[in-house]
Amino acid sequence: MLSLPHLPLTQGVFAVLGKTTSAIAASALVAAGLLAWSTPAAAETAPQAAVAVPDCVETDLDDDGITDELTVTNTCSSSVRVKVVLAYMTDIPCTTIRSGRSVSWSWGYPGRFDGLVDC
């Protein structure tokens, strides 16, 4: 059985393990700290400029409860393609809405409606 010398608490575990192990352990702790504070690569990419939807596209948002509901109505003379942009959730992909038609979506907390963009 391995017997470790009795050391005062102020010397700690790294003193028992030796300088090489201490350096490796310290490097690992620093690396772990840097990883914890780094941002994901996706967050570093610049978002593309959003294109506004035409004025003939109307939105009706009900966000009074736990579940939000959005209805988008196309009053344009032709079909439109829109994407629902959400905060804290994955955006709703581009959807074609024919002239004179409406499409509804709903999502739960923590999602929040951030806008509608043209596809």
> For residue 97, what is the DSSP state?
E
Q: Confidence band (pLDDT; 50, 70, 90) for 27?
A: very low
**Sequence letter at residue 85:** V
Sign of the Cα torsion 59, 63, 64, 67 reads positive
Task: Indicate the average pLDDT of the chain.
Answer: 74
Q: Confidence band (pLDDT; 50, 70, 90) for 47?
A: low
Q: Residue 71: its pLDDT value, please?
A: 98
Q: Confidence band (pLDDT; 50, 70, 90) for 24?
A: very low
Burial of 14 (0-12, 13-18, 19+ CB in 10 A): middle
Q: Which residue has the higher pLDDT, 51 or 90?
A: 90
- What pTM does this model have? 0.58
Q: Confidence band (pLDDT; 50, 70, 90) for 72?
A: very high
